[in-house]
Structure 1
């Protein structure tokens, strides 16, 4: 957003709102309260704000603005950061202005004030970028989504079902799996992903440690790197009872899964001495999963691993429940579930928008810490998720994230009980987050028996383990 030029063009109108502007700018200095937002400063004394914090500050000021009976559109006459009394870099000033413009646009979309919303979105497009700051990246994706929402509401874009809505398509699945090895080599930099992997694998190890024949069923195997961790731990045991290890991968890209299978088979041959290894592919979407697809043998101990894939089924509760029945019929000793922590299916559009914005801002901020200036990994994938969540909010068949309560309510129907994660899992996460490159960035806490991991204070992902009664 070329905020200074836009504001200059409206200087005359802005002067007409001088009384309001003075009151608003007075509150801006209080708005950037370091105790309220846990702000930090760099060596020069300038403010350093995470993307979610920028969004929250912008939202607070926008609400202050609206509470004074002003239309969200009028923010273009009153620069957000003017006279704030804070030492801010030009980049931060622009990000704050951009964040408020985006959220003002969303407010206007929520009230169906589409003409004014489009004007603000056009201002957003002047500075939003898929390769800019975390705020610029997220505004880029959400601006696109809001523009699609307007077209949808005005009847310019029809709801055509899965052709437009199905986010987890085979093309996306192949994209994620094809990131191996180059992109997934970077994954260890993401502390929260390391923690989910170690915690989930440890939970499965705890339940299968004495078994001679283990069958691991992965509902979204991605690169399969987590199973190399499993093999390494098993190989390091003084006395390993394991004689046979089978991994079944579920997905729709047989070619990609077979590539993962070849890598895991090669790794197993080098790592697991005197242990036979078998890799199976189950070519199916989750909606049509069948128990007889897995060739589970009587003496196998079965464990399920689900990494950020069940959310794609929340829009189809009947199919999701049928899939859980299939899992239950295989009598697994444990099911590990890793899912995003966000509820993007709230009744009010603006509430869902805010929830989505906070979550994806944290994801963008995390990526930027380790790969500054690079487009978000899988940007097209993220953009499609955001577009569908925002554009089709209110439609039943829209993939959405769920919070802990959503999953607890669902799993309770099948008499699934939360299982306490081991002390060693918690210790590993704690030690990981104390490493210099992660300290102060990632934290975790227990929600019941779940581990909920936050990025700079924003919850983003959870790990839980479940057993069938």
Structure 2
């Protein structure tokens, strides 16, 4: 709401400031509006796929002249796509992407982007609330919980759960969190995981919640279960939100990392598995259909941010550059093993998880109704919160962007 108010007041101020110049700029504005950047991007991708030179370079120059990281939604979108197309033509996608990943945003900037994103968009907020409420419901009357978090990054999900545990009737449970994330390049592969653990430990101490933390830096498909120190007397929660898209699939290996990780999780025999996935279809091994899908998907995301956040907001570019732009670059500019962003639809994930030996739980209607009400109160009317086949869905203007679901191993489910 604060973001929306800031946006409205900013628009009013801009109206007063620029009102006197509207007549002079009208012709130029009409010229800019006449250019369909999305159509030009598709045309350019087609030229690159057909190796039409120098036509593809001419289109890139035209798109570059009308794109900007500080413009409207379509200009900002075009800015990141044209960077990726240029790198694809030059054959430098992999090298540039590695530099982007090495030049990670610091925690302070990431926190600014995170705060703005959850204020402007319910996707992360809803995912955390859904996951945390599912954990709380599963933990009723239990003294110890062990959460294994695949892809914890900065650990932003867990402070709110720690607060809820602190206020639990009968006292907080003993909380263990095991963080699993891929090693970082350089001399300290566990640096971010360790820093996240320290912050969470300090937070748990403030609220007097008994807390243990273990960080594991490893590729997910190489995890050894015995290294996780699972205790059969604790409630075991597996949490994995929106990071499965980075695992390799059948295009790289017949027995894909996605299926191997799911089978490993099944062997852990969790009390509950919580999955969140990006509902994307831009995983084709063929460039052109993949480009069209990723362009449509991110057009919705950039439109969403443009509709809810003022252009001048300093953290907006952090969201677009670090949360959106890096993934766009990888999907468009990289191929083979270097292309690591490979989302699937939630229905494709449903088949995978069922085949791994899990039973899907129905969406908790109390959670769903509460989230719909919160969305109405706090967020733009064009956001979508719905359910389908056991999945809680989120989207923008009819396009489903994210999906959440909960699962139990089939044996434990049948024994209940």
1:289 aligns with 2:223: yes
Separation of aligned partners in 2, 1:434 and 1:244: 35
Normalising by structure 1, we get a TM-score of 0.71
**Greater length-normalized contact order (CA 8 Å, ≥ 6 residues apart):** 2
Q: Which residue of 122, 128, 137 corresponds with 1:191?
A: 122
**Could you say which residue in structure 2 is the equivalent of 1:444?**
385
Separation of aligned partners in 1, 2:403 and 2:31: 30
Separation of aligned partners in 2, 1:111 and 1:293: 50
Contact 1:306–1:338, Cα closer than 8 Å, also in 2: yes
Secondary structure in structure 2 of the residue aligned to 1:421? coil
**Could you say which residue in structure 2 is the equivalent of 1:244?**
174
Secondary structure in structure 2 of the residue aligned to 1:186? helix
Gaps of 5+ in 2: 1-7, 9-25, 184-188, 411-416
Q: CA offsets per residue over residues 358-384 of structure 1, 9 Å max, x none?
A: 211222233332242442426156433
Secondary structure in structure 1 of the residue aligned to 2:176? strand
Separation of aligned partners in 1, 2:140 and 2:28: 54
Contact 1:132–1:375, Cα closer than 8 Å, also in 2: no
Separation of aligned partners in 2, 1:214 and 1:345: 36
Normalising by structure 2, we get a TM-score of 0.79
Q: Which moved more, 1:253-262 or 1:298-307?
A: 253-262
Contact 2:37–2:75, Cα closer than 8 Å, also in 1: yes
**Could you say which residue in structure 1 is the equivalent of 2:158?**
227
Q: CA offsets per residue over residues 110-150 of structure 1, 9 Å max, x none?
A: 33324212211110011212222221111111122223333
Secondary structure in structure 2 of the residue aligned to 1:245? strand
Q: 1:397 to 1:260 in 2, by over 3 A?
A: closer
1:323 aligns with 2:264: no
Gaps of 5+ in 1: 1-41, 43-86
Q: Which residue of 272, 275, 280 corresponds with 1:342?
A: 280
Q: 1:397 to 1:411 in 2, by over 3 A?
A: farther
Q: 1:378 to 1:141 in 2, by over 3 A?
A: closer
Q: 1:192 to 1:336 in 2, by over 3 A?
A: same
Secondary structure in structure 2 of the residue aligned to 1:257? helix
Contact 1:203–1:421, Cα closer than 8 Å, also in 2: no
Separation of aligned partners in 2, 1:286 and 1:211: 28
Larger Rg: 1
Separation of aligned partners in 1, 2:290 and 2:28: 31
Q: Which moved more, 1:98-107 or 1:366-375?
A: 366-375
Contact 2:362–2:390, Cα closer than 8 Å, also in 1: yes
Contact 2:60–2:86, Cα closer than 8 Å, also in 1: yes
Q: Which residue of 113, 133, 136 corresponds with 1:205?
A: 136
- TM-fit CA distance, 1:96: 4.7
Separation of aligned partners in 2, 1:218 and 1:349: 33
Separation of aligned partners in 2, 1:424 and 1:222: 29
How many residues are paired up? 370
Secondary structure in structure 1 of the residue aligned to 2:36? helix
